[in-house]
């Protein structure tokens, strides 16, 4: 069961730098890719930047449809996350290969990944930097989490197949968001 999240809280999901899975859909075909190159740009409405190589199948799909979904997986999905990152969707249906459950979005025509902790429906609002740096500027138009009994542990990529999983939580008085 998914639960709507206030758009003002989206930065709390993306700011820690988790590995995400980006879904896109174009001409009746869906695809999914693994991505770590993203950052928050503004709080509300939540705007983020992400870098998707123009060699990736997803680049052309998003360029054409101006839509995608940023799905945040947890540590238990790490094998799927890496497998999805290792192959291209040009010739293979990754949803079938990795047995991915998908569901419909509310604001975009792109599938959400049901197994992920969070799914952020996004619209491309700026492609000025897409040619030079492969940067897409996205606005999150709808945000979901799927609450769990256990703490949702995110994955962070350190390169060359090395990942670090969320550890200890520390709380300190911060005047900032």
Contact residues: a copy of itself, CB under 8 A = 9, 11-12, 15-18, 36-42, 47, 49-51, 75, 78-79, 82, 85-86, 126, 128-129, 133-135, 137, 153-177
CA angle 152, 158, 164 (to 5 degrees): 30
Instruction: Specify whether the CB–CB gap between 66 and 108 falls below 8 A.
Output: no
Least separation in angstroms between CB 121 and a copy of itself: 20
Nearest-angstrom CA–CA distance, 158 and 24: 25
Least separation in angstroms between CB 12 and a copy of itself: 4
Look up tokens 């695809």; give the residue.
31
Least separation in angstroms between CB 27 and a copy of itself: 26
Report the b/e string of 49-76 with b at 16+ CB within 10 A: bbebeeebbbbebbbebebbbbbbbbee
Whichever of 27 and 158 has its CB closer to a copy of itself, that residue is: 158
Whichever of 53 and 93 has its CB closer to a copy of itself, that residue is: 53
What's the token pair of residue 121? 């429906």
Nearest to 71 by CA among 38, 28, 27: 38
What's the token pair of residue 108? 């975009």
Whichever of 53 and 109 has its CB closer to a copy of itself, that residue is: 53
**N- to C-terminal Cα separation, the chain:** 28
Q: Is 1 helix (H, G, I), strand (E, B) or coil?
A: coil
Least separation in angstroms between CB 102 and a copy of itself: 23
Whichever of 112 and 137 has its CB closer to a copy of itself, that residue is: 137
Whichever of 28 and 167 has its CB closer to a copy of itself, that residue is: 167
Least separation in angstroms between CB 15 and a copy of itself: 5
């Amino acid at each position: 069961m998914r639960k709507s999240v206030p758009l003002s809280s989206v930065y709390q999901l993306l700011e820690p730098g988790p590995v995400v899975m980006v879904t896109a859909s174009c001409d009746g075909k869906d695809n999914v890719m693994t991505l770590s190159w993203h950052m928050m740009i503004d709080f509300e409405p939540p705007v983020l930047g992400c870098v998707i190589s123009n060699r990736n199948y997803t680049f052309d799909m998003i360029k054409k449809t101006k839509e995608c979904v940023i799905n945040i997986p947890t540590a238990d999905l790490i094998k799927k996350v890496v497998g999805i990152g290792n192959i291209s969707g040009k010739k293979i249906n990754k949803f079938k290969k990795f047995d991915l459950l998908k569901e419909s979005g509310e604001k975009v025509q792109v599938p959400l990944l049901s197994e992920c902790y969070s799914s952020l429906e996004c619209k491309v609002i700026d492609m000025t930097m897409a040619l030079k740096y492969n940067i897409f500027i996205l606005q999150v138009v709808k945000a979901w989490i799927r609450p769990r009994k256990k703490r949702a542990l995110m994955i962070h990529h350190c390169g060359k197949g090395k990942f670090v999983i969320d550890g200890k939580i520390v709380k300190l008085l911060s005047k900032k968001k």
